[in-house]
A = this chain, B = another copy of it.
Amino acid sequence: MATTLNATATGRGVDAAAAAARRVIAALVRAGDISGADMTAVADRLNAIADELEAAAPGLRERLVNMWRGDGTTRHDPVTGPENPLAPPLQYTGRPDGSIEAVVTLDLPYQGPPSCVHGGVSALLLDHTLGVANAWSGPSGMTAELTLRYHRLTPLFEPLTVTGRQVAVDGSKIRTVGSISAGGRTCVTAEGLFIAKHPPRPR
């Protein structure tokens, strides 16, 4: 029995707009300055959309209270958030053994070395994954220390398996591990020390 651990996209409203923005981001990096597109016109149209969104936006304080409502999963983070165009987004499955897993394929916006995932992007995905693994299987909290080891290059354009698992809890100290693998080979491993503390949500 598997459980989805993060907010899922509704396909409507801001989720649909964020999904479309993800397509624009990928298409721009695929295009660069050698595509047949009229980039001046694209910039004008994107700026017009931004102008309208900014004019219609709620106040920052109102939005913060809104986005942190309740005590559960949020919808805006840069790894899984259906409302955040930066998020690939990852979709985690929680397993009865306490581990979690997501499968994701990344494109050019996430590139470091040629045709490979940026090491810092792997760090971003793993920091978040370890945090979700904590929430799934035991106490969770904030990252105090995170160590990444890069065993081989992580490829773009093919499915990556991202995993996390809480391994020890000692008072408020939580130790969690995770990895990114491709085609059954481990590319990056992570070890995190977390402190069981959560900053208050804005109310």
Contact = CB atoms under 8 A, between A and B. Distances in A.
A116 B198 CA distance: 12
A17 interface: yes
Interface in A18-61: 18-21, 23-37, 39-40, 42-47, 49-50, 52-54, 56-58, 60
Interface in A39-90: 39-40, 42-47, 49-50, 52-54, 56-58, 60, 62-64, 66-68, 75-79, 83-86
A153 to B, nearest CB: 7
A154 to B, nearest CB: 11
B50 A23 contact: yes
Interface residues of A, number: 90
B53 A86 contact: no
A31 B14 contact: yes
Interface in A111-151: 111-116, 118-121, 123-128, 142-150
A72 to B, nearest CB: 15
A86 B36 CA distance: 22
B53 A35 contact: yes
With a 10 A CB-CB cut-off, give which of A19, A29, A53, A79 has the most chain B CB atoms. A29
A92 interface: no
Contacts of A124: 118, 120-121, 123-124
